[in-house]
Homo-oligomer: A and B are copies of this chain.
Amino acid sequence: MTTRPLTANRLHETSLAQEIQFLLARARAQGNSRANELLAAENLKVRSFSVLSLACSGMNPTQRELGEFLHLDPSQIVALVDELEKRGLVKREVDPSDRRSKIITATNDGHALYDRAYALTMAAEDDYLGTLSRRERTQLRAILQKIAF
């Protein structure tokens, strides 16, 4: 964990520090950076991990669906899938019901890597949510799901 000397702690009392939007941004940044640190051991980032995770989900998502769900442009999905495909972790398959679409699924190697990477993201969660109780985590997840979906 990158711990920095917070000599600016006195700004915690400002109005900005009470805004949920600001706090969300800070919490996300911390979690993202910690997750990226740990995922680097498997040459993944949060972004590519997300695609791999959905490829492993059994839901057979198309690239279009991945982009929609991850809020990423189609061109960004192309780049992410390209990289994972080159590494032999996922494969593109033409959707028989609509030959324009490509379904992204994980290979055996992809599933194996996902299992290890998933454990890393859980470890990252423990690191930056360490001060939260089980109950608080459950509350947080429930509230965030109401916002996000």
Contact = CB atoms under 8 A, between A and B. Distances in A.
Interface of A: 4, 6-32, 35, 46, 50, 53-54, 57, 59, 61, 64-66, 68-69, 71, 118, 121, 124-125, 128-129, 131-132, 136-137, 139-141, 143-149
Given A25-B32, A132-B147, A20 B140 contact: yes
A66 B11 CA distance: 9
Contact of A147 (B4, B27, B118, B145): B27
B27 A24 contact: yes
A31 B24 contact: yes
A94 to B, nearest CB: 19
Contacts of A46: 21, 25
Nearest to A24: B28
Contact of A24 (B9, B24, B59): B24
A131 B147 contact: yes
A55 to B, nearest CB: 10
